[in-house]
Structure 1
Amino acid sequence: MVKVREDYPLQADGQVDLERWLNRIAVRVDLHSPDVLKKACLFAKEADETYDREHSWSMRTSSFLTGLAMADILADLKLDQESLVAAVLYRAVREEKTSLEIISKVFGQDIAHLIDGVLRMATISQVINPNHHNQKFSQSHLQLDNIRKMLVSMIDDVRIALIKLAERTFAIRELKDASDERKKRVAREIFDIYAPLAHRLGIGHIKWELEDLSFRYLEPEAYKHIARLLDEKRLQRDEYIHNVTQTLRETLAASGIYAEVKGRAKHIYSIWRKMQRKKLSFHELYDIRAVRVLVPEIKDCYAALGVVHSLWKHIPKEFDDYVATPKENGYRSLHTAVIGPEGKALEVQIRTLAMHEEAELGVCAHWVYKEGARGNKDTGYESKIAWLRQVLEWQEDMGETQMDELADQLTRAIRYERVYVFTRDGHVIDLQAGATPLDFAYSIHTQIGHSCRGAKVNGRIVPLSYKLQTSDQVEILTQKGASPSRDWLLPSLGYLGTSRAQAKVKQWFKLQDRENNISAGREILEKELSRLSLTYKSISLSDFATRLNVKTADDVLAGIGAGDIRPAQVINLVADTLPTVEVEPAASDFISRSRKGQSSGVVIDGIDNIMTHIAGCCRPIPGEPIVGYITHNRGVSVHARACSDLLRLQEEEPQRVIEVHWQQTVDAVQSVNIAVKAWDRTGLLRDISGVLANEHVNVTGVNTQSNKQDGTAQMQITVEVKTLEQLGRVLAKIEQQPNVISARRLTTVS
């Protein structure tokens, strides 16, 4: 259930007793200059009164009282005096009863900066939801994630986020008498954006309150149903928890563990979510009855866990060790579920007092401002900002986690190097820093990018090379029938800042150049076929199309012309259809008519006791079509049938070419060079290495080069494979990796 805010201390005339309120704050917060907070309170109160006099009416809510309530919430979080001062003054600035310039002059630039940060966070709601009823952003997890990340990029001081959380907490507490439309609108925003923010900052009690109150307005029937179920047997449950905590406390003390043991409040939204996720009824949940054990040290956590499991039987698969492996937001605790007294399931959480404070206060438990450190950036302030930004990278809070996708996103871009911009209708688009309106256009839709002829940013016409900034609102101007310009691909002109958009432009020109590619591909293929004494007309290229993952003969030729299909791939397929070549007697008179498997794994027709070796020029792999060549002093060299060196030797001394084939079972491995071309990204080599490891392929050498100008990476990897099939599988899987353009075998075949 949610916590109800205490009332303000009042004087006899009904006015707020400011002195008593300040004393109540001073108990919880170190006020190094109490007069400054008092001055802020009087300033906010005077701004309220002046505004009311000038407008001859009073606003629905007092910005002064709202400020006191926000400061009260922040005092519970043990925030510093500057944060409380900014909270007291924030609504007066937001409601234009005063200005940031005046605040800066009266209270200093630091206070004005905090208020300005909270105002910038507030603009997100206005742009996303300008008409106060458009809730499109709540329907997409991707949009929610982008909106959350946008908040991250706008925050350069953790206190800004905390002040905004206090403001939203007060807002939802005050919704009781609001219209149904306002309740749902505010609850949706808080549920989707600010409850997850509180979770990622590790502020447990704020998160629970925001979730429960939002849930109350978004799903009123479900909320009432669970609240009624909790209330029906509250007395029996409270008595049960009382007996359990007393038993556990006494048993722990007898074991030398002095702990604080108490029942743990259950939260309605978390109960509902668990019922939905696990498909369980209310009565089947393990943690309706829950206790928390607080101990002095970490070693006591595990000792207490042993006591719990000795008292009651542990429920299998219901133990989590967040002490050894903390959650992403730093949360640490041991969680276990047992069959407690009367055969009822019971959840037990065990943590140290320090862990409990962190769980309740989250980032605030880490954020300590000392007198000598105020305003000094060298005292760890910047490192705390970096830590905050990592904490704020939340993804999975409102649904199922897609960790693979998240990991890929985080490895492809440094967290801070992103910009978040708005479409005209309020959707947030996540782009790489340095992105331009053209990059934005291509991220929306490829055709919008192709037809882009101009852009407006924040209502003004800008060049297509303009570098977008977080919170820009972008509108793309298109022209029917327009097409990309080759100038867009010139790095010096700065039209495109992302490799994704560059690839789409290149693909467009590639399609336009198809006819030229077909012609060039035919010329290349005819040259290679001539080496086999074949002509283009003597083969049926369409027979090989499907094996090359295309549909028609023209597709094959276009692929060769564009460099996507290697001529050697086609030659190998053609060679497989050729009849077996008879061995010239002059080259075989000296050998007996028998067959014997050689150490190379090759069987040579009609040859016995003769040395064989794999040709270094093409390094054929078991399963690949091969031919033997009787050398002058090294026995038989084994070549790929389409090897260009072999074709030359065959022309010079055809009598030395003999038929060979692989043994039925070949256990040898062959060294092969693989060439990989890709759009460069962080983690590329790691992902390719993972493919090789999964295929049990040994890597003996790696050489990588990055081209900063066009954003590509070239890799040459030497691997050991057993069969042509294994090599083909490896190449196919490498090409499936994100950003990989091509993966091919390197030989003298061309």
Structure 2
Amino acid sequence: MIRQYELVERVKAYDPAADEAMLNRAYVYSMKVHGAQVRANGDPYFSHPLEVAGILTDMKLDAATIVTALLHDTIEDTVATYEEIESLFGPKIATLVDGVTKLSKLEQASERTKQAENFRKLLIAMSNDIRVLLVKLADRLHNMRTLHFIEKPDKRRRIALETMEIYAPLAERIGMHQLKDELEDFAFAELNGEARTSIIRRLSFLRDQGGDLITRISDQLARTLANQGIDSWVSGREKRPYSIWRKMEQKNISFEQLSDIMAFRVVVDQMPTCYQALGVLHASYSMVPGRFKDYISTPKRNNYRSIHTAVIGPEKQKIEIQIRTREMHEVADFGVAAHWRYKQSNGIVPDGGAPEGTQYRWLRELLEILEQAANPEEFLENTKLEMFTDQVFCFSPKGDLIALPRGATPLDFAYAVHTGLGHSTVGAKINGRLQTLRTELKNGDQVEIVRSKGQTPSPSWEHIVTTGKARSAIRRFLRNQQRDQYISLGKAMAVRAFQSLGRDLTEKAIDGALSKLKQRSVEDVYVALSQGLLTDRALLEAIFPGERPEDTGDARVLPIARGRLKRKRAENALPIRGLIPGMAIHYAGCCHPLPGDRIVGIVTTGKGVTVHAIDCKTLESFADAPERWIDLAWELDAEPGELHVGRISAVVTNEPGTLSQLASVIAKNRGNIANLKFTDRSSEYVEMMVDIEVRDLKHLTHILAALRADPAVSSVERARG
């Protein structure tokens, strides 16, 4: 363990003005309150916050952050309280500690819900002070270093998965690549230990075969640059096992097919020298096409800046080279921690980097997702989408740079600019050519969004977008739109309920009964009515106690618009899955859907849902309004009850007795003719449309087979329209 004076000396070495008394007080207080607690490996628990503080001293962070690290588990795991921390160390430290503290008292059934809630709190806290995230990442790093001491495999895997999905991307987002690499490596070892071991063995074999290849190539690159008068520091390393594994997965290639498992860094003094070094290297070695990226001209969202290229370098090896200044190199390794140091020292961002706050744009986008998410799980899902590492850089017609994840579409671009622009998007021009909204954007694309005031988001857009911001905005709009439909339908049901008492609907009357109905607003009453959570009788009883309509019938609401009378089981619910309880429905007269058909519903505000067969031609007129579609299906195990109308088209011989013969066949097969219409007549044949009451599709098919067997029937088919 780090001794007390050693920790203080570490901090004072890079921050002579640090509050030594506060550091000593935090060390002693943390050791005291953790007392005899021990970790899974048997070490005193106090060793954990101490190691976390040690990790942060390596990043040269300020004394307040180090004190927060020492205290970060005190509120959660000891008798210490927020008020006590505030009184001893001040409100700022107390706020930081509370931000890192988990929501340990959440009584949630789902572990995933608890994880999502913890992440929501962490996000809110770090939006106020990014040091909360720095402490949390250092905390997670030390936990991963000691993960193997946890006995339960399921718990180890859950922690490793959470690290890979949330904390490693977060570290990447704030530019802390060194910490991200270590987190990924530990998580990879737990999630796929065999693959990691295999890659390490192969790297070791190549190292033995090539000798000190990395050192030889580094020296040669340095000499090449020095010969042209460029002073540089060149270092090389093998790519990490997880980075190699991810490339093998993404490109679907074997280890033997990888040719760039070595990466080299060229560090120079000034930004212009980066481009001079690039010119020298490209002039000296063959460049690999398609591998050049200039992150100095267009920095990543985490303020990472460097020039990336690949060449066939010394000893005919295909290598990746990163060229940057010393300040860029420090930011690349320590990210926002380095930025924080520069800000603390002189408030100047080195090398003309991103202005203050720019590197936190992604954090503001996550906060927008937080506001729009319906529940913690949806927020966590969309946040993972928002933390993609691979990026494309696109431009607006005015030249504004928009960074998006790989695979983004024009819809993602529109929502990245403004939510309102995304909602009204109808098309996009990419590099001057009109393209579909599904088009995948590429680096350097200029995107112009075509919009319309009458356009609204469609449910299908969820499958087009890649970013979490776009998906959460679309879901929020659709939720609000669905509520509007519920309100409209519920209001129509309330009007009918009031009319049954001979009264006109007044929202003032409903408002006075909200407490009895246990609803917060009149709109909530309408929603409850349309969802079947509130009956018309309960509504009327709450507003007009003791009054009864002339014929209330059953207490439940059955708002069937133009529905056919049931011959049996009229009191039972309709045998259809996917309907909202209590919603008014009727069957389409254009296609006459039967149980056994594939069906969909079309929502009409104020009228409910019309059920159509999936192949009904009328559906083509709703192709541009997919938000009105509802996926429906018949309850296959429902008992036979309601009779449905199936329509057939028959051609019979024009002879006396033919019609009675057709009716006889239908009757023998337990069908009932509900309607008949002659559509064409000649001297030999008569064509007619016949509506037959049947139980389901199988029943109609049986009748059709019987009719085809009758000699008087020339042809017979099921009819649409």
TM-score tier, shorter chain, comes to 0.5 to 0.7
Give, in whole Å, the separation in 1 of the partners of 2:165 and 2:313.
36
- How far is the alpha carbon of 1:299 from its aligned partner? 1.3
Partner of 2:413: 407
Aligned position for 2:103 = 123
Q: What is the SS of the residue equivalent to 2:61?
A: coil
- Identical columns (%): 31
- Say whether the 8 Å CA contact 1:328–1:391 is kept in structure 2: no
- Deviation track 1:123-158 (CA, whole Å, cap 9, x = no partner) reads 399688x565x6999xxxxxx9x9977753443211
| SS of residue matched to 1:367 | helix
- 2:95 corresponds to 1:113: yes
AA matched with 1:193:
I
> C-alpha deviations, 1:587-646, integer Å up to 9, x for none?
xxxxxxxxxxxxxxxxxxxxxxxxxxxxxxxxxxxxxxxxxxxxxxxxxxxxxxxxxxxx
Q: Distance in 1 between matches of 2:177 and 2:92?
A: 28
CA spacing shift, 1:35–1:432, aligned 2, 3 Å: same
1:668-707 equivalent positions in 2, closer than 5 A? none
The verdict on how the C-alpha distance between 1:150 and 1:275 changes in structure 2, with shifts beyond 3 A counting, is farther
After TM superposition, give the deviation of residue 319 of structure 1 in Å: 1.4
Map 1:599-614 to 2 at 5 A. none
Counterpart secondary structure, 1:280? coil
Query: Which of these residues, 389, 403, 413, is aligned with residue 363 of structure 2?
Result: 389
Shift in Å at residue 62 of structure 1? Answer: 3.7
CA distance in 2, matches of 1:136, 1:86: 23
Structure 1: gaps spanning 5 or more residues: 1-7, 10-16, 138-143, 374-379, 416-426, 454-460, 468-475, 486-503, 516-544, 556-750
* 1:306-352 deviations in Å (ceiling 9; x for gaps): 22223221111121111112222221111111112332211111111
Cα distance between partner residues in 1 of 2:284 and 2:106 = 55
In structure 2, which of residues 59, 80, 89 is the aligned counterpart of residue 98 of structure 1? 80
Tell me the TM-score normalized by structure 2.
Answer: 0.53
3-state SS of paired residue (1:74):
helix
Q: What code does the residue aligned with 1:349 have? A: Q
| d(CA) in 1 for partners of 2:406, 2:92 | 40
Q: 1:44 aligns with which of 24, 27, 30?
A: 30
Question: CA shift at 1:234, angstroms?
Answer: 2.1
Distance 2:346 2:414 in 1: 42
Query: 282, 292, 311: which one pairs with 1:309?
Result: 282
1:402 to partner: Cα distance: 3.0
Pick from 242, 264, 279: which aligns with 1:269? 242
1:481 Cα shift?
2.8
Aligned-pair distance for 1:67? 1.2
Match of 2:641 in 1: none
Q: 1:223 to 1:440 in 2, by over 3 A?
A: farther
* Aligned twin of 1:325: 298
Pairing partner for 1:242 from 189, 206, 215: 215
Q: Which runs of 4+ in 1 moved over 6 A?
A: 56-59, 124-128, 146-150, 427-433, 445-453, 476-480, 545-548
- Indicate whether 1:171 and 2:177 are aligned: no
Cα deviation, 1:30-70, whole Å, max 9, x if unaligned, reads: 55211211110011111122x66xxx999956442111111
Question: Structure 1's 551 and 235: CA in aligned 2 closer, same or farther, altered over 3 A?
Answer: closer
Measured in 1, the distance between the counterparts of 2:196 and 2:609 equals: 61
Q: Taking structure 1 as reference, are residues 346 and 229 closer, same or farther at Cα in structure 2, changes over 3 Å only?
A: same
- Listed as ranges, the matches of 1:468-617 within 5 Å are 481-482=532-533, 510=605, 512=607, 549-550=620-621
Instruction: Rate the CA distance shift 1:466–1:300 in 2: closer, same or farther, 3 A.
Output: farther
**Rounded Cα–Cα distance in structure 2 between residues aligned with 1:262 and 1:347:** 12
Report what 2:47 is aligned to.
65
Question: Cα distance 1:551–1:336, how it changes in 2: closer, same or farther (>3 A)?
Answer: closer
Q: CA RMSD in A?
A: 4.9
CA distance in 1, matches of 2:121, 2:136: 15
2:328 equivalent among 336, 352, 355: 355
Distance 1:406 1:310, change over 3 A: same
Q: Deviation at 1:195?
A: 0.5
Aligned pairs, number: 443
Matched residue SS, 1:42: helix
- Residue 158, structure 1, aligned to residue 130, structure 2: yes
2:264 paired residue among 291, 297, 302: 291
> Aligned partners of 1:59, 1:239: CA distance in 2, in Å?
38
Aligned-partner Cα distance in 1 for 2:488–2:54: 50
Q: Is 2:301–2:362's contact at 8 Å kept on the other side of the alignment?
A: no
- Pick closer, same or farther for the CA change 1:385–1:551 going to 2, 3 Å: closer
Q: Does structure 2 retain, via aligned residues, the 8 Å contact 1:253–1:259?
A: yes
- Mark the CA change 1:116 to 1:136 in structure 2 (over 3 Å): closer, same or farther: closer
Q: Distance in 2 between matches of 1:254 and 1:484?
A: 88
- Per the TM alignment, residue 240 of structure 1 is displaced from its structure 2 partner at its CA by 1.3
1:87 aligns with 2:69: yes
Higher RCO (CA < 8 A, seq sep 6+)? 1
Whichever residue aligns with residue 174 of structure 1, its letter is T
Q: What letter matches 1:123 in structure 2?
A: L
Q: CA deviation at 1:451?
A: 9.2
Q: How far apart are 1:211 and its partner, in Å?
A: 0.9
- Secondary structure at 2:299 match in 1: coil
C-alpha distance in 2, partners of 1:168/1:448?
A: 47
The separation in 1 between residues aligned to 2:202 and 2:252, in whole angstroms, is 17
- Change beyond 3 A, Cα 1:57–1:412: closer
Contact kept in structure 1, 2:529 and 2:535, CA below 8 Å: no
Q: Which residue of 1 aligns with 2:254?
A: 281
User: Could you say what secondary structure the match of 2:148 adopts?
Assistant: coil
TM-score by structure 1 length?
Answer: 0.51
* Counterpart AA for 1:45: M
Cα 1:413–1:308 change in 2 (3 A) is: same
Which amino acid counterpart does residue 389 of structure 1 have in structure 2? Answer: L
Structure 1 residues 170 and 513 mapped into 2: Cα distance closer, same or farther (>3 Å)? closer
Alpha-carbon separation, structure 2, partners of 1:42 and 1:164 = 21
Partners of 1:275 and 1:43 in 2: CA distance: 49
CA distance in 1, matches of 2:39, 2:121: 37
Q: Over residues 543-567 of structure 1, what are the superposed CA-to-partner deviations in whole Å (9 max), with x where a residue is unaligned?
A: xx97994399xx9xxxxxxxxxxxx
Which secondary structure does the structure 1 equivalent of 2:304 belong to? coil
Q: Could you tell me which residue of structure 2 aligns to residue 599 of structure 1?
A: none
How far is the alpha carbon of 1:466 from its aligned partner?
13
Q: Residues of 1 paired with 2:144 and 2:413: CA distance? A: 34
Q: Does 1:27 align with 2:13?
A: yes
Alignment partner of 2:264: what SS?
strand
Answer yes or no: is the 8 Å Cα contact 2:282–2:311 preserved in 1: yes
Q: Provide the C-alpha distance between the structure 1 equivalents of 2:485 and 2:162, rounded to a whole number of angstroms.
A: 31
- Say whether residues 1:257 and 2:230 are aligned partners: yes
Offset, 1:483: 8.0
Distance of 2:34 and 2:622 partners within structure 1? 74
Deviations along 1:158-207, whole A, 9 cap, x unmatched? 11111111111111111112122221011011111110000000111111
Separation in 2 of the partners of 1:360 and 1:464?
Answer: 52
Q: State the one-letter code of the partner of 1:22.
A: V
Measured in 2, the distance between the counterparts of 1:345 and 1:261 equals 16
> Structure 2 vs 1, CA of residues 98 and 478 (structure 1 numbering), >3 Å: closer, same or farther?
farther
**Cα contact 2:487–2:530 (8 A) shared by 1:** no
Contact 1:158–1:388 (CA under 8 A) maintained in structure 2: no
Name the amino acid aligned to 1:510.
Answer: T
**How far off is 1:89 after superposition?**
0.7
| Cα offsets for 1:643-676 (capped at 9, x unmatched) | xxxxxxxxxxxxxxxxxxxxxxxxxxxxxxxxxx
Aligned to 2:506: none
CA contact (8 A) 1:314 1:337 kept: yes
Match of 1:193 among 166, 171, 174: 166
1:511 Cα deviation after fit: 5.1
Paired AA for residue 357 in structure 1: E
